[in-house]
Structure 1
Amino acid sequence: MRDICIVGGGVAGLAASIFTARAGLDTIVVDGGESILARNASLENYPGFPDGVDARRYLRLVHEQAQGAGVEVELGRVSSVERIEETNPESGFVLETDGGDPLEVRRVIAASWSDSEYLVPLDVGRIQRGSKHYVNVDEDGRTAVEGVYAAGRLAGEPHQTIVAAGHGAKVGLTAIHDSDVNFYHDWVVPEGYFTGRDRDVPPGCEEIDDEERLERDVAARETILEAFAEPLAEKPTMHPSVDRE
């Protein structure tokens, strides 16, 4: 049984997965297809990119970061989620998918803005507004069903990439907390930051010396330089309702 299944491979789901995987939780993301972010011609409001960034390139980098953290990504759609034992909240969940074997997991994070029908068997509190459905959550992303969370636009958050990423990370931290994982922060700090004060390095943190810091800086710059070396050939995906003829 896996620790976490995240349904949705957009920025909210991937952000959550990076946190849960780095905390040591066995994490799988079921990606149902192209993120709505791929319709964005230029991502303009994301801090750190003064002149904007190609949204598809950004999404690729987030995918790489998640997989580098140990996240498994499986392409497919989840058709239903049910508790393994209806009367036992600790039993976990089974997820049926359209392209693979059923998944048994302890916790589920729903981050699939375009489709949440799979949640109907759980009665998590889906709310219909016009043609869209949202999931009612508390301030930390928990739904009415213990062990099930919702992140990003599906949880009613504003339709902005930076907000989706931040909320996904927050919900990931909530799942970590509920999993009773010994975890403090995902900080990487200079050597002596904790030990120099006669403190143990907290769980999830790491102290590195200057040599390691410089090595990581070189690797980080090489990754970014390679990612941005050439423009992407693909064009943004047009909204499906637009007549292309």
Structure 2
Amino acid sequence: MTKPNILTVDDDPQVSAAVARDLRSRYGPEFRILRASSGAEALDVLDKLALRDQAVALIAADQRMPRMTGIELLERARPQAPGAKFLLLTAYADTDVAIRAINDIGLDYYLLKPWDPPAQRLYPVVDDLLDDWRRANPDHTSDLRVVGARWSDRSHEIKTFLARNYVPYRWYNIERDAEASRLRDLAGAAPEDMPIVLLPDGAVLKSPSTLELASALGLRTRAEQPLYDVCIVGGGPAGLAAAVYAASEGLSTVIVEREAPGGQAGQSAAIENYLGFPKGLSGSDLTQRAMAQVSRFGAEVVLANDVVGFESRGQVRAVLFGSKDIEARALIIATGVSYRRLEAEGMEALSGRGVYYGANASEASQCEGDDVYVVGAANSAGQAALNLARFAKRVVLVVRSGTLEATMSHYLIQRITSSPAIEVRYRSEVVAVHGDGHLESVTIADRDTGGTEEVPSSWLYIFIGASPRTSWLGDDVVRDERGFVVTGHDLLNPGYPPRWPLTRAPFALETSVPGVFAAGDVRLDSMKRVASAVGEGAMSVYLVHRYLGTV
């Protein structure tokens, strides 16, 4: 198999030789390192690679070249190398230009010259860029295969589980692909067995549950220890941050996650206001980086298990999974929130069949050329609309209020209102959905006039409200009327039942049960931002240490 390519572009022969040497010494076994001495020569190289269907993983270009700057080259290179990562080599005086290029041409990173020593200043940057490229361009030779129907809610559930757990797969539509019918027959599957999953080792799973699928893939679905220092329920940003800090500080740590790591943030196509990432990063990227840290420090992650109850057993806190449980000396609740159900006629029958709550970033391509409707006015809805607009013919954002300013970040509003592919329908709401087996049309009502309009569409994505996942906590953990967990000094508010049992005041993130903490979106009056969830996850571990020092 031909190696993917890394192209370096610099008109200074010494600099060109140096960067090629440094890249070859580290990446030569996996990538072919190519050199060009000008923008024109680089474009000619890219043309030849495109004709040969040879992948380009990275283009590293000097900014100050005669006749064509590095930014001009990278902008022109995008059609020939659409998936390549762009690295600009520049002087300090050009940093303003480089920062603008992040938005203008999708520059991934700029690096100040000189980059000596490369082990500290070059390789960490290139390592990150190439890791991102590998994730976007996996080796498909050992992929599992999924055979199902396009509008099957079970097929959608399995594909979503695989995508969110970063398991590469190939999808075969039984209604359109001849190969799908052949695979179904080879597997001996009947129509009622669909969808089926064919594993690389030849095993066949017929309409598996997510727990069965996780077990077959070798994902951990059971805890290994009888007692932990801390159990974290929920694998979103707050839970992952808590796990990193807890495990790195020597606490035996387990995370329990019912779906996949990352939470709602993990499905985001872009998180652009997270500190330290000027280009932004996807929720998938953030989650994979966090999971690598979690694994590095030795925390366990138990997947595909839905917590159904909670008990205090003396000084031990237990979370229940039906017939199983996990015991820990302290518990951190980081279950986040789920999207609130839309009250509209026909929703139940079409859920998972064109009507979806939330959207994984990888799903956007299935809407290519279609009209897509998105309900919601917060950042999650805005990011989804922008991601879907990359493929859809038109994206219509349906908003109940008359403005986006109160609920969406300014940078997102600017991008949405300037996109020719996105239309915003203010003072509107979806009141009904229609279809035979899958979504075919949506009825939208004008909140001012009361008039309605039925529009054709096969895609409706819903991002409304926030419903915390806390029913499993029972009566001992105080929550507000919407289910958000009450913590810290709010527990002493006379508006809540007097449940705090100790003479000391509760710690800042502590719930009404000593030793049980809440972090992130599940907590009452949390900020509902990724950065604040990460901060609360880290803070909760500090408070766990304080609690464990008192018992």
After TM superposition, the score normalised by the length of structure 2 is 0.30
The letter for the 2-side match of 1:117 is S
Deviation at 1:5?
A: 0.5
CA distance in 2, matches of 1:11, 1:38: 8
Contact 1:16-1:173 within 8 A present in 2 as well: no
Partner-residue secondary structure (3-state), 2:241? helix
The equivalences for 1:1-245 within 5 A come to: 1-34=227-260, 35-75=263-303, 76-84=305-313, 88=314, 90=315, 92-97=316-321, 101-114=324-337, 115-121=469-475, 123-129=476-482, 133-138=483-488, 140-156=508-524, 157-180=526-549
The corresponding residue for 2:118 is none
Q: Structure 1: 5+ residue runs without aligned partners? A: 182-245
CA distance in 2, matches of 1:179, 1:22: 16
Larger Rg: 2
Structure 1 residues 140-161: Cα deviation after superposition (integer angstroms, max 9, x where no partner): 2101111110000111311111
Contact 2:478-2:486 within 8 A present in 1 as well: yes
The letter for the 2-side match of 1:21 is A
Contact 2:228-2:329 within 8 A present in 1 as well: yes
What is the RMSD of the two structures over their aligned residues, measured on CA atoms? 1.7
Contact 2:266-2:282 within 8 A present in 1 as well: no
CA distance in 2, matches of 1:59, 1:155: 21
Partner-residue secondary structure (3-state), 1:78? coil
CA distance in 1, matches of 2:256, 2:308: 11
Partner-residue secondary structure (3-state), 1:95? strand
CA distance in 2, matches of 1:180, 1:105: 15
Structure 1 segments (4+ residues) deviating >3 Å: none
Q: Structure 2: 5+ residue runs without aligned partners? A: 1-226, 338-468, 489-506
Partner-residue secondary structure (3-state), 1:109? strand
Task: Give the share of equivalent positions with the same residue, in percent.
Answer: 31
Give the aligned length: 171
CA distance in 1, matches of 2:537, 2:517: 10
Deviation at 1:40?
A: 1.6
RCO higher in 1 or 2 (8 Å CA, sep ≥ 6)?
A: 1
Structure 1 residues 82-130: Cα deviation after superposition (integer angstroms, max 9, x where no partner): 012xxx4x2x1222125x7311111110000231112115x2111133x
The letter for the 2-side match of 1:112 is T
Deviation at 1:38?
A: 2.6
CA distance in 2, matches of 1:136, 1:93: 18
CA distance in 2, matches of 1:38, 1:25: 25
